[in-house]
Structure 1
């Protein structure tokens, strides 16, 4: 089977994450083209993989014959690259969040469906093997309440602290946690969210939320609360409570189930980031069916709608908002 010829749009931090994955599957795929607005990053990537460097993705997509495309640009920079790739029938892996414009996401999804193209979104936490334990627990318990936190760790890139480019922490960073809430506990029918600002006073050109807290109502009837902030020491936890049992789960795949007569603990044993990237490549190669992708564009849009609803509720003083596509 021939190697999958891959192009990258964006060669920054998250692309570097994927580059490490590609170096572990040189027998399956080859990065042949790399595009970035910063010439040195495009050239460095080209040198690393013996690929062709570009500064303009339109030029890259017109000149290169690609089997797959990875879109790794900041959320506010999606300006048509997906649509051009769809025109050329190129399967796509798009980093989360896929855009800050739901209307644009709808156009992309419609194009993917029309061409029947494989797709994936970088919600790699779904690929933790230990997630199956958490989901099995949730599916077999009547859950009353869920609570969680994600605190600390403000990314240093300029665009992250600009709301118009990143969408803020709930959209750009905590989307992983909200996606896991959907995946483990089911769909969310309503959110109420409030924000906190004024803590990060020493960061220039910063207008995102310092913290937010969200109340989520699940279709199952469960009630969830989730707080997130880009300040202070790191904290990652998700707790769910049933009448006689409790689940603790983290985005890193650690879990603890507490029952009346026993405690079960464990952690992820796989490289879930590698598995996320490689599963998509295997689907493009025809080695796996398309439904092996755990985060296709269509499903990721539901998580995108959820985090957009959270922002909308914040903008409206905590008014209830129903996530919708």
Structure 2
């Protein structure tokens, strides 16, 4: 079978550290082109991995034969680039948040459908080994119904991650639109929906810029969620966890508690009401410091190779985004927002 020809839009940190090396490591892929308005970044990728560099994605789409693209650009560009790629007949993998409004998300889904291509969103938390194991345990039914939960994602902020440091687009409201919530919160709204196999029905959000200077985007959020099943819990996103980041979830269920990512080395802990304690060492989550393969690229490529629609679809990405948008609405109005 001929290799899938892939282009990458945006050559910042997520492209350089995850998308591009993971495509390069996949034997079904040929990286053919890179686009970045700072063309030196695209050139560096082309020198390292082969292929051509472009300063504009439009020019790339017009000049290159590609089967699929990754959109790794600032949030406000996700929709326009994904739609352009879909309209050019390319499968699209877009970074999270997939878009910055519901309308944009719907237009992206529509463009993919109309052109018969796949749209996948880079919600890698579903694919982390501890999260896969946790879902397997929960789905087995041994814990019974989930009653209450907390899920949290925090790190010291994008200045340590982005190729532009403190000058990063992550801090520019007009390009990022949302801060920690778009970066981390949307991962957790996606994860809790997936883990509980349930939808969020109501959201209350407290969202603030508490500590980052010279920015209007949020650096902290604590949200209350009520699920359709009735389960209630909290979702936390933070860019000010300076000492030790957090990517943990705890579920209190009828028959015990499941702790995910709370203890280093024991990634999943199940404590049953009958006194049994089970620990699972299934491998760590990816962090900004320790890059382990995200699984997203391989899943996207697998979808294309096997012609199977991606499970982390545009529709899924949009539902997860809508939870975050509802939290912003709640912060603005002081009301609980129903979804």
What TM-score results when the alignment is normalised by the length of structure 1?
A: 0.90
Q: C-alpha displacement at 1:250, in angstroms?
A: 3.3
Q: C-alpha displacement at 1:249, in angstroms?
A: 1.5
- Partners of 1:127 and 1:273 within 8 A in 2: no
Q: C-alpha displacement at 1:147, in angstroms?
A: 1.6
Residues 102-113 of structure 1 aligned to structure 2 (within 5 Å): 102-113=102-113
Out of 178, 183, 188, which is 2:200 matched to? 188
List per-residue Cα deviations over 1:278-321 (Å, max 9, x = no partner): 12112222xx2424x3311121111011111111111122x111
- Partners of 1:171 and 1:308 within 8 A in 2: no
2:24 corresponds to which residue? 23
Matched, 1:256 2:260: no
Once residues 52 and 198 of structure 1 are traced to their aligned partners in structure 2, the CA distance between those partners, rounded to angstroms, is 42
1:229 corresponds to which residue? 238
Range 162-171 or range 306-315, more displaced: 162-171
Once residues 44 and 180 of structure 1 are traced to their aligned partners in structure 2, the CA distance between those partners, rounded to angstroms, is 34
Runs of 4+ more than 4 Å apart: 269-272
Out of 152, 156, 174, which is 1:153 matched to? 156
Q: C-alpha displacement at 1:78, in angstroms?
A: 3.2
2:165 corresponds to which residue? none
Matched, 1:241 2:258: no
Once residues 274 and 148 of structure 1 are traced to their aligned partners in structure 2, the CA distance between those partners, rounded to angstroms, is 19
Identify if the C-alpha distance between structure 1 residues 184 and 110 changes in structure 2 by more than 3 Å, giving closer, same or farther.
same
- Partners of 2:6 and 2:33 within 8 A in 1: yes
Matched, 1:143 2:146: yes
Matched, 1:265 2:298: no
Once residues 296 and 15 of structure 1 are traced to their aligned partners in structure 2, the CA distance between those partners, rounded to angstroms, is 20
Once residues 268 and 295 of structure 1 are traced to their aligned partners in structure 2, the CA distance between those partners, rounded to angstroms, is 22
Q: C-alpha displacement at 1:236, in angstroms?
A: 2.6
1:315 corresponds to which residue? 332
The alignment yields a C-alpha RMSD, in angstroms, of 2.2
Once residues 316 and 258 of structure 1 are traced to their aligned partners in structure 2, the CA distance between those partners, rounded to angstroms, is 40
Once residues 132 and 237 of structure 2 are traced to their aligned partners in structure 1, the CA distance between those partners, rounded to angstroms, is 24
Out of 306, 314, 318, which is 1:297 matched to? 314
What TM-score results when the alignment is normalised by the length of structure 2?
A: 0.86
Once residues 110 and 154 of structure 2 are traced to their aligned partners in structure 1, the CA distance between those partners, rounded to angstroms, is 36
- Partners of 1:170 and 1:310 within 8 A in 2: no
Q: C-alpha displacement at 1:79, in angstroms?
A: 6.0
Matched, 1:11 2:27: no
Residues 54-203 of structure 1 aligned to structure 2 (within 5 Å): 54-78=54-78, 80-139=80-139, 140=141, 141-156=144-159, 157=162, 158-166=168-176, 167-185=178-196, 186-200=198-212, 203=213
Range 57-66 or range 127-136, more displaced: 127-136
Range 217-226 or range 143-152, more displaced: 143-152
Once residues 189 and 14 of structure 1 are traced to their aligned partners in structure 2, the CA distance between those partners, rounded to angstroms, is 31
Tell me, which stretches of 5 or more residues in structure 2 are unaligned?
163-167, 287-291
- Partners of 2:206 and 2:221 within 8 A in 1: yes
Q: C-alpha displacement at 1:113, in angstroms?
A: 1.4
List per-residue Cα deviations over 1:221-261 (Å, max 9, x = no partner): 10011223211322232111123300111399921111123
Q: C-alpha displacement at 1:211, in angstroms?
A: 1.9
Matched, 1:211 2:220: yes
Range 54-63 or range 171-180, more displaced: 171-180
